[in-house]
Amino acid sequence: MNAPPEAIAPLLAVDKLEVVYKHAITAVQGISLNVMPGQIVAVLGTNGAGKSTTLRAISGFLGLDDARVTDGSITFKGARIENRAPHLIARRGIALVPEREKVFPNLTVTENLHAPATSGVSRADIRRREELVYQFFPRLAELRPRIGGLLSGGERQMLALASALMCHPELLLVDELSLGLAPVIVEQLAQRLTEIRAELGITILLVEQSATVALAIADYGYVLENGRVVLDGTAERLRNHGDIKEFYLGQAGSGERRSYREIKQYRRSRRWYG
């Protein structure tokens, strides 16, 4: 009899995570999610669902907002990292492309790229990494002397992704790739993410309001609402899921945007009473 294949451990395991802001506001209430090595995993949900809070908890950037992980755990490569300092988490191999304040507005493109990779990295390594990121984002090479504040939205997003790659991460967290950008630019950036995964072997956790963008490149997805996971599955399953089509992909043409739960409740009430 053949031995069963060895189970592959998740690169990142979030288990029953709870996050509270200012000792009062519970933004994440028991979220569990797994990211396997080499996967692109999407986290979907509308405004205030808890997407950014989840990424901030994973990357350690909660403290700046007076928030804490109050329950549950975050395990990266087998080690617990919840409530650790951001620089220690970065050193373990996690880089975050934040939702806002993506670049240093007063630093040039080159200075932005050098900023995250300073401690313990040789000049030769920094130069090598810089050449590598220019291969993914050739436009940035042309913009080297330009200051961050004068870049377009798309260029800024490229610089933010490139700065994260300068940290040499194993896991890249991207908060809202598509925010405020033209669809054609978003498509190019999403394409770059798939190349980054394929060529550098980097695992990606992508937070998005746009299900169309995220499910086009993801392997697996989670839908959050009010700080909880309400649905998860393979990207293919989610793309074809009736509720996702209706609510997130806008394919039902129902006009007003309702919450996932409202749709569920509406369906249930029709089933019971109609």
Q: Could you list the residues that contact ligand ATP (CB under 6 A)?
A: 21-22, 25, 27, 45, 47-53, 65, 99, 209
**Binding partner of residue 104 among Mg ion, ligand ATP, none, CB under 5 to 8 Å per kind?**
none
Rounded Cα gap, residues 208 and 46, in angstroms:
9
Residue type, 38: G
Closer to Mg ion at the Cβ: 11 or 49?
49
Q: How far is the CB of 27 from ligand ATP (least distance, A)?
A: 3
**Binding partner of residue 157 among Mg ion, ligand ATP, none, CB under 5 to 8 Å per kind?**
none
Q: How far is the CB of 31 from ligand ATP (least distance, A)?
A: 11
Query: Helix, strand, or coil here: 250?
Result: coil
Q: Which residues pair with 46 in a beta bridge?
A: none
Query: Helix, strand, or coil here: 121?
Result: coil
Which residue's entry shows tokens 């979220």?
31
Q: How far is the CB of 214 from ligand ATP (least distance, A)?
A: 12
**Binding partner of residue 187 among ligand ATP, Mg ion, none, CB under 5 to 8 Å per kind?**
none
Residue whose Cβ sits closest to Mg ion: 52
Closer to ligand ATP at the Cβ: 133 or 238?
238
Q: Which candidate, 56, 70, 47, 49, places its Cα nearest to that of 231?
A: 49
Find the binding residues for Mg ion in span 41-80 (CB under 5 A): 51-52
Find the binding residues for Mg ion in span 87-146 (CB under 5 A): 99
Q: How far is the CB of 15 from ligand ATP (least distance, A)?
A: 18
For 49, which DSSP code? S
Q: Which residues pair with 232 in a beta bridge?
A: 222
Q: How far is the CB of 61 from ligand ATP (least distance, A)?
A: 11
φ, ψ at 207 (rounded to 5°): -95, 130
Q: Which helix (H) or strand (E) holds 138?
A: helix 138-142
